[in-house]
Chain A
Amino acid sequence: MQIELISFGKLSDFIPNQNLEIEGIENTDDLKQYLEKIFPELAAMKYKLALNKNLVQQNSKIKNRDSIALMPPFSGG
């Protein structure tokens, strides 16, 4: 299936926005693990996932054409 991947802040330096083809990944926990494998910098950073614009607080099922955003914290003022 295909998902839309959107990233913000420092994460967009190494994860460009893209339509990502994923196979055998059914939920957000699996996706996180997969992304941290293909983008190793991600594993060391704090960020949250949003699934179709809703903050992911627990493992959630992913469907074809879902939009997934990766949001890091900002501190600048």
Chain B
Amino acid sequence: MERYQRQLILKGFGLEAQERLAQAKVLVIGAGGLGCPALQYLVAAGVGCVGIADHDVVELSNLQRQVLYTSADVGTLKVENAAKRLQQMNPEVKLLLYPVAVDKENILETISSYDVIFDGTDNFESRYLINDACTMLNKPLVFAAVSGFEGQLAVFNVEDELGIKTNYRDLFPVPPDAGEIPNCAENGILGVIPGIIGTMAAGEIIKLITGIGNPLINKLLHYNLLTQEQYEMNITPSNEYEPPISSAGFMNSDPENLTHSFTEIDAAQMNELRKNPSTIIIDVRERHEFPKLDSGIYQQVPISVFETFASAEIDAKNIVLICQHGIRSVAAAELLHQKYGETKKIYSLKGGISKWRSHFNHTT
């Protein structure tokens, strides 16, 4: 107990709170900018069991904010590197690793044995999926998200003193259209902002587990690093969204509510399409991004000039859009679908170049 002595002597904390932490199971989804600091403080504080779910490998561009990883970790799984460091920090904590992307098939089972879920993912698809699964199973969900110099934090599916609880769909009932809201790869992010918001999230999780203080139940906290201002708004139920009540209902629901008018494919399907002479593969990343791909195979048209490019006719019958994470390529695919409808086959590489790196011919 010497390890936890400084928090044990806190007024209102003590041995009882420490015991609650030791009994708790917390699942951190996304071991990135938000997940790293949250994991560090949860493990350091002595949460009994911590699950880490992330399918990505460490990239060099992650290191300015994902502080669990070192340069030597680049190219290897985040969950494994995170577990190695966290276990060194506190060998008393049990770590469970999920090196997979959460999806409709696995999420209910993955979250079912946890007491609190932390959403530190980086895309709306995962966020709505996690929210809907947690809402259906009535799991406390700590939500954190960042943009530029700003962050958002909330606690969902936990009742206030009046028995009222809310979830992300009460705030934003339907996801934004693909490409409407830029992600970190496109918009940029200062490392300290996920550091601050992820650390605040760990604080909320510890408050929920131990029962101290006032967690952000039915509230959305907004934080601005540039002004050091915080804005807190009260969330009330919207009644616009009814969560599914059974796992069968969940499987049949469309958590994204996105009606794709194009096809998302994997790298094998992309390489199969490449053999067809009437296929064009377009890399919509900006010119400064890495890895550089063979421009003889992957024509580069940055998303910033894509609209101009798309105003001219494209001869190919099959158009495959690719980008770093498969988000901008969706926006480009939607744009082309609006123009060509069903007269051309339009594809977006799901997960992007970072997911399928070894399947590409690169030049650097």
- Chain A residues packing against B (C-beta within 8 Å): 6, 8-10, 44-46, 48, 50, 53-55, 57, 69, 71-77
Q: Which residues of A contact B171 (CB under 8 A)?
A: 48, 55, 73
**Interchain CB contact under 8 A, A72 and B181:** yes
Closest chain-B Cβ to A68's Cβ sits at a distance in Å of 11
Closest chain-A Cβ to B126's Cβ sits at a distance in Å of 9
Closest chain-A Cβ to B182's Cβ sits at a distance in Å of 7
Closest chain-B Cβ to A3's Cβ sits at a distance in Å of 16
**Interchain CB contact under 8 A, B233 and A10:** no
Other A-B contacts than A54-B233, A73-B181, 17 sampled, CB-CB below 8 A, are A8-B222, A10-B181, A45-B176, A53-B232, A53-B233, A54-B236, A57-B237, A71-B220, A75-B121, A75-B127, A76-B33, A76-B183, A77-B35, A77-B120, A77-B121, A77-B145, A77-B146
Interface of B is mostly: mixed
Residues in B163-210 with C-beta less than 8 Å from chain A:
170-172, 174-176, 180-184, 187, 189, 194
Interface residues on B, range: 35 or more
Closest chain-B Cβ to A21's Cβ sits at a distance in Å of 23
CA distance A50 to B170 in the complex (A): 13
CA distance A55 to B34 in the complex (A): 25
Residues in B117-156 with C-beta less than 8 Å from chain A:
120-124, 127, 144-148, 150-152
Closest chain-B Cβ to A76's Cβ sits at a distance in Å of 4
12 A-B residue pairs with Cβ-Cβ distance under 8 Å, sorted by A, are A6-B231, A9-B148, A46-B176, A50-B233, A55-B234, A72-B176, A73-B175, A74-B145, A75-B123, A75-B147, A77-B122, A77-B145
**Interchain CB contact under 8 A, B172 and A73:** yes
**Interchain CB contact under 8 A, A77 and B148:** no
**Interchain CB contact under 8 A, B234 and A46:** no
- Chain B residues packing against A (C-beta within 8 Å): 30, 32-35, 120-124, 127, 144-148, 150-152, 170-172, 174-176, 180-184, 187, 189, 194, 220, 222, 224, 231-238
CA distance A57 to B237 in the complex (A): 8
Closest chain-A Cβ to B52's Cβ sits at a distance in Å of 14
**Interchain CB contact under 8 A, A55 and B121:** no
Closest chain-A Cβ to B196's Cβ sits at a distance in Å of 13
Closest chain-B Cβ to A64's Cβ sits at a distance in Å of 21
CA distance A55 to B167 in the complex (A): 13
**Interchain CB contact under 8 A, B233 and A71:** yes
CA distance A34 to B236 in the complex (A): 25
In this complex, what residue of A is CB-closest to B198?
A77
**Interchain CB contact under 8 A, B232 and A9:** no
**Interchain CB contact under 8 A, B233 and A76:** no
CA distance A44 to B177 in the complex (A): 9
CA distance A64 to B148 in the complex (A): 32
**Interchain CB contact under 8 A, A48 and B172:** yes
**Interchain CB contact under 8 A, B176 and A74:** no
In this complex, what residue of A is CB-closest to B34?
A77
CA distance A74 to B189 in the complex (A): 12
Find A77's partner among B30, B175, B182, B238 (CB 8 Å cutoff).
B30
**Interchain CB contact under 8 A, A76 and B189:** yes
In this complex, what residue of B is CB-closest to A8?
B222
**Interchain CB contact under 8 A, B145 and A76:** yes
CA distance A58 to B240 in the complex (A): 11
**Interchain CB contact under 8 A, A75 and B150:** no
CA distance A76 to B143 in the complex (A): 11
A77/B194 contact (C-beta < 8 A), A54-B234, A57-B238 known: yes
